[in-house]
């Protein structure tokens, strides 16, 4: 996985090894609390990925920006969602984290990231924020047709997510289908 600005943490997350990510960071929390940057990843992002709610809160109280982006332009909320850190997701949302621009590319909103990573508890928290459930993914050269949350949940075979979206009165006949 060779991309510019790709850290070991990004690589681990991209390959769905969130348990490995948490384990590999366990001994480094002392450094994170001191606001050190590890491989270009800000402390806020690392403590969010590790589920360290205490240090996350402390960093935010000390003035860390809730919407700061790392070298790959991902926010701490992106990290908390992909690692399934529900308490950290809740803290970041309560502190005003931007739910629409947490990364670049197809999975740029909190809603789409929670669906992509099949994080049902995070998805519930995000939906509680009264966001638009009919938002569409950004189109790009790899994904030329924008898709809705319902489309993406179906694409990723995320049955729990589909059930939750349907329970919110999001019906297929209310959506425009691109195919």
Nearest to 29 by CA among 65, 59, 64, 66: 59
Q: pLDDT tens for residues 75-106?
A: 999 999 999 999 999 999 999 999 998 987 66
Residue 72, pLDDT score: 83
The whole-model pTM stands at 0.74
| Helix/strand/coil for 51 | coil
The two structure tokens encoding residue 169: 């009165």
Residue 5, pLDDT score: 47
Residue 1, pLDDT score: 39
d(CA 138, CA 156) in angstroms, rounded, equals 17
Whether residue 22 contacts residue 51, with contact meaning beta carbons closer than 8 Å, is answered with yes
The two structure tokens encoding residue 112: 């789409």
Residue 175 class from Cβ within 10 Å (0-12 exposed, 13-18 middle, 19+ buried)?
Answer: middle
Q: What are phi and psi of 38, to 5 degrees?
A: -110, 120
Residue with tokens 């939750």: 164
In tens digits, what is the pLDDT along the chain, a chain of 179 residues? Answer: 344 444 555 544 444 444 444 554 544 454 444 444 455 678 899 899 989 999 999 999 999 999 999 888 899 999 999 999 999 999 999 999 999 989 876 668 999 999 999 999 999 999 998 887 777 766 556 666 777 888 889 888 999 999 998 888 655 555 554 44
DSSP bridge pairs for 38: 41
Residue 92, pLDDT score: 98
d(CA 9, CA 12) in angstroms, rounded, equals 5
The two structure tokens encoding residue 161: 């997510």
Residue 166, pLDDT score: 85
Residue 3, pLDDT score: 46
| Whole-number Cα distances in Å, 79 to 48, 96, 126, 159 | 6, 16, 14, 23
Whether residue 92 contacts residue 76, with contact meaning beta carbons closer than 8 Å, is answered with yes
Residue with tokens 């990843």: 41
């Amino acid at each position: 996985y060779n991309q510019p600005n790709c850290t070991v943490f990004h690589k681990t997350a991209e390959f769905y090894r969130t348990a490995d990510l948490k384990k590999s960071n366990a001994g480094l929390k002392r450094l994170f609390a001191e606001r050190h940057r590890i491989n270009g990843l800000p402390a806020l992002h690392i403590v969010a990925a590790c589920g360290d709610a205490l240090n996350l809160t402390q960093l935010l109280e000390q003035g860390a920006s809730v919407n700061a982006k790392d070298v790959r332009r991902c926010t701490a909320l992106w990290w908390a969602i992909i690692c399934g850190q529900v308490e950290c997701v809740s803290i970041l949302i309560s502190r005003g984290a931007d739910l629409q621009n947490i990364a670049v590319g197809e999975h740029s909103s909190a809603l789409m990231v929670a669906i992509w990573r099949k994080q049902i508890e995070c998805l519930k928290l995000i939906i509680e924020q009264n966001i638009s459930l009919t938002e569409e993914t950004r189109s790009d050269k790899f994904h030329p047709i924008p898709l809705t949350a319902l489309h993406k949940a179906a694409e990723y075979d995320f049955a729990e997510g589909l059930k939750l979206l349907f329970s919110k009165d999001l019906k297929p006949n209310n959506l425009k289908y691109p195919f």
